[in-house]
Every structure is written in C-alpha cells, then in structure tokens.
Chains A and B, each alone.
Chain A
Amino acid sequence: MFAISRSAVEGALAAGAAYADARVVLSKHQSLACLNGNLEALDYDERAGVGVRALIGSSWGFFATPELTEQAALAAGAEAAAIATASAMAPGPVLHLTDVPVVEAHYETPHEEDPWGVSLSEKADLLVGVTETMQGVAGVTLAQASMNFWDTEKFFVSSQGHKISQHLVEAGGDLAATAVGESETQRRSYPQSFGQFESGGYEVIRRFDLPGNAGRVAEEAVALLSADECPGGTTDVILESSQLALQIHESVGHATELDRILGWEAAFAGTSWLDLAQLGTLQFGSRLMNITADATLPGSLATFGFDDEGTPAQCVDLVKDGVWVGVLSGRDSAAIAGLAPGGMVRGDGYNRMPMVRMTNVGLLPGESSVEEIISETRDGIYMATNRSWSIDDKRLNFQFGCEVGWEVKNGRLGRMLRNPTYTGISPQFWASLDMLSSEQVYWGLPNCGKGQPMQIGHTGHPASAGRFRDVRVGVKG
C-alpha cells in the first residue's frame, strides 16, 4: 500500500506541487441497532482508497479515488495538483508548513479482543436482551441499544520522506429508554446519550455492563414524565462528567481550533471568540480549569500514533490555571500563527482532506468527590447526560439541555427534575467553576461534524463532575 501512496505523491510533485502527501486508507465499520427486542439494523460499511493532498501557492488541492493501483494513484496526484492550480483564480498568501520529524513508523491501538472476532449472535443477543429488560418496565415506549466498531488501516507517505502505517481499533455502544407522555417525551440513556466510544476492542463493550444498567435507565425515563419541571432562575449547577465532556467539546475544543481562529471555517462552522493576540494572557476560566489536548491517553477515543500529516501524537496544554495557553493546530495553521504544530490534523476516510480536529481535549481532574461537591452545595441542581446542545458560531453563547436533573438542597440530592437546561457565556461560565471531582472518565464522541464537504470526527473528552456558580437554568420558550 505504501507504493500506492508514494505514486500519488510522485504524481502531484510531477504536476508542480511544492509539497504533497497521500494516505491509503482501508476502513471498516460495523453497526448494530436494536429497538424493542427487534434488531433493526445490521450494517457493514467499508471504504478503501487513496487521497492525495498537493500544496501549490496559497491552496491545497485534494483528490481521492477508490482505485488502489499505482497508475490510478499517479493520476490522482496529478489531479490534486491541477485542482490546487485552479485555486490561483483567487490567490492568497503562500502557505508554508512547520517542520516536523520525518519518520518511518507503525502504530497500533492496544486492544484485547478483536471486535470482528466476536460473533454477531453474541452481539445481537446482548442488545436484544437489554432492550427486553427495559421494555419490562411499565411506561417505557422505546427501548433502544446499539454497538459500533471501527477498524482503520492507514498508509501515509509525504514528499518529505514520511512513511507511517497505523492500525486503529475503536468500539462503543449505548442503551436508551424513551417514555412517551401526553405532550412530551422523556429519555434516559447509558453510558451517555448517543453512546460511549473508546479506543479498544470488544472489551470496551463488556466493561459497560449494559445489562446491569438497563433497568435503572428505564425506570428513570418513566419517572421523568411525572417529575417536576426544572424551575427557571439562577442557581449553582453541578454537571455530571459526560455533560461536562460535551461542554468542553463545544465551548473549549472548537473555540481553540486554530483553523477557526484564522477564519478558515468562518462561513460554515464559524470562527472563535478567541484572538491569538491574547494567547498566554487571556483568563478563560477559574484556576481549576486545566485543559489539555492529549492524543496519547490509553484507551481514549482520539488516541493514535501520528496524525494525518505525520506529526507524532502529543499532549498540548490549552488552558492552564484558567489562562488560555494553547491551540489545536496542524502544520499549515501553526506556521501562520508562529506556533509548534500540535499533531491534530485528521481526515474522515481516504476521500476527505485532513483538517484540524480535536484529539482528547479534556479537563484535568480536581480533588473533590462528587459526594463532597453535593454536600457543599446549599442550593442548586445536579444535571446529567446531554439531551440537546446549541452554541453560537463564535463558541461563546451556549445552551444545553440534559436528560435529568435533581434538586440539591442543603447538601443533599432532592426531587428529580425534568427538562433541565442551562445557558451561559463561555468565559463567564468557566470562571464560575469552583469545585471539581477527582473521578475522571475518558468520554468519547464519534459524531463531531465539521468542514465542507462534511467530515465526521472521533474526539475524546476526559472529564469529571464539576460545580459552576450562579448559572441561568430552566430556559423556556
């Protein structure tokens, strides 16, 4: 496969590219989904091909073909260069790349149990079983469960001499119960809404203990229908760790993407409220806020050996003691900003051009336990598991809804609350973080949309529960 990648690079160089790289990617994805005891979907998706990137002047040209021959790759390289040349109709400043070590290497995700080695029957039986358990709870209308597995091989070659192969294995799944009432629906899910995903094999699924959580989740969904509505007002909010993970993703991860800060995503995903002139001095949050982008964390979803530009996986500080100190970057964006490249550029398959992507962007744990945080809260709401998320194009103004809330009064959890929502402005919200749990989970999201054409990215978000003071809750239309 390296020969095919090399041919693509040679084709681009021969057609005038100043720099070129190419990836042969062989990927497969298996998904199973069950509804009310019936396996609704058993899907297998494989994609194989080569994508080549050619840099000419101010623009990348990219071309992808599923034809895995050296001849087709050579032609693809020439086409990528021709596409980059067409960009000269609207030229900009010449794009440069920061230097990275030129290596020949191989990386494989550590995993114990090959997901493709586990029978479909075993997987299906598990999903059918947990949905039947949830259906056994009176009032549950929809009992759903799913599993997903990815196996990806990459063969990367650059015109500077990189030769890197990787074998990435990822797994995840979930279960969810929905209760339909007179005028609204209520849902509870586990381990988190839309599923929990990690780097690893089938052992990831076994660790979840889906059967052990199905009954509880179903009972909570039904209970929510008759729970009190989350009151409106301003109060202290304790976010359970998976909700805090999504908060990090939306309000810190995307905000610190250097391509957004530079305006490359302005028309679609948006820009960022962060200004590079403030890097190193801007107070992003409280001193408890320490956020890193770490692509080396064992088992986390966005862990790999090298990014899709051949930059080694690394840990980069984004926010330290509450101060904004780092960005998510690639070789081209880092060169413009005068920073070191962060190794955060990845593409969604062979046919998408790599772009800045979050790695494992997470909050370092604090020193409290969740029980201590609750016991030290006089008046507040504990919110768990995301249900809705919305944030503006500068990643400043957000509103999240959670599946469930519990009132906190005088240090104790009280009544269950339905439709809990909270809203705020990123730096004000993060400045109000005053307690943080030590119980960290490496949450993984497999569905981060960005770019045009749209790319779906896999990102990781280590997080623990935290308390935020004086937050607006219970927003209603």
Chain B
Amino acid sequence: MKVAPLAEMVVGMVGDRAEAQVTVDGTHQGLTRFANSFIHQNVAESGRTVQLKVAVEGKVAAATTTRGDEERLRTLVEETIYAAHLRPTDADWPGLAPPAKAMGAGHFDVGTARATPVERATRARDFITAGQGSLAAGYCDTDGGPVAFANSAGQSLETSISRATLDGIHQIGTAAGAGHATAAALSEIEGAPVGAMAAKTARAAADPGELEPAAYEVVLSPECVATMMYFLAFYGWNAKQHDEGQSFVALGEDQFDSRVTIVDDFLDPLSVGPSFDADGTPKRALTLVEAGVSRSLAHDRRTSVKAGAASTGHAIHGGDLYGPVPTNLHFRPGSQSQEELIASVDRGLFVSAFNYCRILDPRTQVITGLTRNGTFLIEGGEIAGAVSNLRFTQSIVGALASGKLVGVGSDARLADSEVGPGLVSAPSLHLAEWHFTGGAQG
C-alpha cells in the first residue's frame, strides 16, 4: 500500500473515538562508508515507519512502528487509544492541524531515492583517488522516498523527499582536511572535487605548530557557522525553550551585528526535506534575525497555542519534549570571498571545522568544543601555516554581537553542521574575537 492511503487507513481505524494524526515515512536509505582508503561498511534498508498520535479529550498518547501489516496496525491503534485513556489530561494539548495546503513540493529527485550501492561506491572511490595517496575516510549516503500525513481534522498531505551527501577527510600523518557536499540530488555531487578539497586542506594542515590559547580574530568556515546556527536554533529560536525562560532571544531587540540576517525557508532552492512538519502544518518562511534584530521564533502547534500565535510549521517528531526546531536555516551571505575575509585579518586563525561542541548554558549560548580538520594561523592577510587543534569556550551570541562581526562571506552553501547535513546553509564569517581556552596539551 502506498504511504498516503496507509496514513488515511490508520486514521480510519481510530474513527471517531479520538483525535488522530498519522505520518507514514516510506523513505529508503543507503550509506557507503570508507576508511583507510577502502570501502569497509556498506549498508541499506527498506521499509516504512508509521507514527500515530491520538488524543482522547486531551489525553494524548503516541506510538511508532515499523510493522505495516494491517492486523498489527489495528492492534497498535487499540493499544494507543487505551494508553491515552489511562494517562492524565495534557493541559497543553493544542488540537490537530486544520486542513491547509503545502506551499511547495518536497525537494525530490527520483534517481536519488533509487540510488544503487554502485552509484554511492563510485563517488567514494573518486573521493579516495583524488587524495593521490593520502588516507581517506568518510561516507556517501542517499535517502529518499514518499512521506504522507493525515489527521482526523481533514488535513492530508503527501510529498516526496530526497537527500544525498558525500562527506570525508583525507589524512596526512596526524593532520586532516575535510570535504563536504549535500544536495537533493546525488547527480549534483561528484566525488573527485570533494576529495580534492579535502586533500588540499590536509596537505596544508600537515606539520602543525603549537599556538598559545588566547582570544584570536578568526575566519570561520561554513561548517563552523552551521554548527553555531544549530545551537542558536535548538536552544534559542525554539519557542518552547523561550517559553521556559531558557532562550537568549529577546524579540525586537538588536542582539546581533546588523549584517546578520538568518531565515528559515523551506522554499529556498538549497533546502532539503519535506514541505510540512510533524504536526501536519505546512512550513512557511520565517525571518529569525533581520539585520541584527531578533524577529521571530519557530513554533509548532503546542507552542503557538500557548503563545496565541500561528504555528510556523516547525514541529519535529519527538518535539513534545524538545519543542519546535528550524531545519531549513539560511544565514544570508555577504559579498566577500573566503580569501578576501582571510586577507583582511592581520593576525588570527582560519578554522575549517568544529568538533564535539556542547552547550554550557542555553541562556548565555556559551559552548565549548575543539577545532578539527585544519586550523591555520593567518598573518598579514595570508595563511602562515597550520596549528594544532585548539579548545574554545565562547558565547555564540557574543561572537555575533554588534561590532564583533567583521565580514560575511559570499560562499553560502549547505554545510555539514555537527548534528548532520542538510540543515543549514551558511557562509564563512570573519569575527573580531573567538576565545580559545586550551591547546593540544591542555
């Protein structure tokens, strides 16, 4: 059975006994992984996931299953309704999403959804050989297929989505450089240029020197900026976190430099993913920061009803606990190339990637983490040499505050944030100050 009729069938099984919403995800995933310059793990899976939520007079229960047989689904519906009856009323249950059309189709390429292991392996091979003898590790994955939503309020949506990523490193001794590409279509990704980029950085990063930890002027790569955006999104622009007093966001206030404009826009050509959220609300474009001023929060149905606002279509599965999260973030680019940003630094660092960042306090947006896959000293506007990885402890909001943002790159692209690919397009940034608090030796 196709995903949309399956979603409707499960809603029908609930009938008028409860409010019900169902998402059926029929995407197929494959991932080819390489290390030590050969493919060592190569995996794929098929199947469908059915996610059901029911509400009986505000008593809510949710269930997820990979079993698509009608008998099991019927039993699961009964068990979930029974569970809902036994729990206390959810005081914040917002009701179901009303019927509304999606504003566009999902970003989909049928060739990517049906990609073969050979197509992924070809890109892995080309990435490896581009290193000309350096040691390669990484992956190429594809993910695609139909997704459908239905609820008992009459909302019904179906879309198809796809995403492909090639991501990896080349290693020379203890130094490494990374390459990354993500798109809705695998055909847009070639292995050789991504591998060549990684190998070039690895060669430049070889034989790093030690640098005393201190506050340095920095140019951050799109990967670094993507990771920063994730922390701002998950802990800041999330209306649940804001309602709980844990967000840094003060709406209407000048919280960033005037060159900071950040939107969440599913319709942007670079975006990947479905056209509606886990509540079945169509996604709509959202200006989060406009010329440095905090403008809006991401809402799901639960937070929007509490706030007396409209849902912005940012519910995620499991979001009852975590709240709504923007997943099509775009930091609007500037006009300078990454080379021009570097040329404008008298003495500072160029950082290729962050690693293992964790938040110390969501309110202050102070994170700690390390640099990875190439950290370079800039002197007199030129790369002077590689330095060993450094630990930093830094407030993201503070780093982007008025007067702290020196330049915005023109090189915005879908970058690999620490939580995965396809969530953020970001440019390189030139910041006046980034606090490095430890070197390789502590």
Q: Which residues of A contact B (CB under 8 A)?
A: 33, 38-49, 51, 58-67, 79, 82-84, 86-87, 89-93, 95, 119-121, 124, 128, 141-142, 178, 180, 183-185, 262-268, 270, 351-353, 387-393, 396-397, 399, 401, 419, 421, 423-425, 428, 452-454, 472, 475-477
Contact = CB atoms under 8 A, between A and B. Distances in A.
Interface stretch (B96-104, B266-274, B366-374): B366-374
A42 B245 contact: no
Given A44-B64, A184-B364, A399-B391, A392 B41 contact: no
A421 B360 contact: yes
B407 to A, nearest CB: 22
A79 B67 CA distance: 20
17 contacts: A41-B62, A43-B61, A58-B39, A63-B43, A66-B47, A87-B117, A121-B86, A128-B88, A141-B245, A262-B36, A264-B137, A267-B35, A397-B440, A399-B368, A419-B361, A425-B441, A453-B141
Contacts of A38: 88, 90-92
Contacts of A91: 38-39
Contacts of A93: 38
A44 B50 CA distance: 12
Contacts of B139: 267-268, 452
B393 A90 contact: no
Contact of B66 (A66, A389, A393, A472): A66
Contacts of B357: 390
Contacts of A389: 358
B314 interface: no
A51 B41 CA distance: 14
Given A60-B43, A267-B137, 8 more contacts: A38-B88, A40-B321, A43-B62, A61-B117, A87-B40, A265-B35, A266-B171, A425-B442
Interface stretch (B122-130, B156-164, B219-227, B256-264): B122-130
Interface stretch (B3-11, B25-33, B334-342): B25-33
A168 to B, nearest CB: 18
A87 B42 contact: yes
B63 A43 contact: yes
Grouping DSSP codes into helix (H, G, I), strand (E, B) and loop, the A interface class, with mixed when no group exceeds half, is: mixed
B378 to A, nearest CB: 21
B35 A266 contact: yes
B389 interface: yes
A47 B141 CA distance: 22
B182 interface: no
Interface string B68-79: 100000001001
Interface of B: 29-48, 60-68, 76, 79-80, 83-84, 86-88, 90-92, 116-118, 120-122, 124-125, 128, 135, 137-139, 141, 167-169, 171, 176, 178, 244-246, 318, 320-321, 355-364, 366, 368-370, 372, 389, 391-395, 398, 420, 435, 437-438, 440-442
Given A79-B44, A89-B122, A452-B141, A48 B440 contact: no
B370 A86 contact: no
Contacts of A43: 61-64, 318
Contacts of B125: 89-90
A44 to B, nearest CB: 4
Nearest to B121: A89
A386 B307 CA distance: 33
B360 A401 contact: yes
Contacts of B395: 477
Contacts of B440: 396-397
B42 A83 contact: yes
A10 B54 CA distance: 42
A86 B116 contact: yes
B442 A46 contact: no
A477 B47 contact: no
Contacts of B359: 388
Given A44-B64, A62-B44, A390-B357, A87 B32 contact: yes
Given A40-B321, A424-B442, A391 B64 contact: no
A266 B139 CA distance: 11
A423 B436 CA distance: 13
Contacts of A264: 35-36, 40-41, 137
Contacts of B169: 266-267
B254 to A, nearest CB: 17
A453 B48 contact: no
B41 A44 contact: no
A40 B320 contact: yes
Given A43-B63, A43-B64, A267-B35, A397 B442 contact: yes
B61 to A, nearest CB: 5
A46 B86 contact: no
Contacts of B372: 392-393
B87 A42 contact: yes
B428 to A, nearest CB: 21
A45 B66 CA distance: 9
A90 B34 contact: yes
A392 B44 contact: no
Contacts of A388: 358-360, 368
A176 to B, nearest CB: 12
Contact of A476 (B29, B121, B393, B442): B393
B442 A40 contact: no
B42 A44 contact: no
B245 A263 contact: no
B40 A60 contact: yes
Given A89-B122, A90-B125, A64 B442 contact: no
Nearest to B79: A44
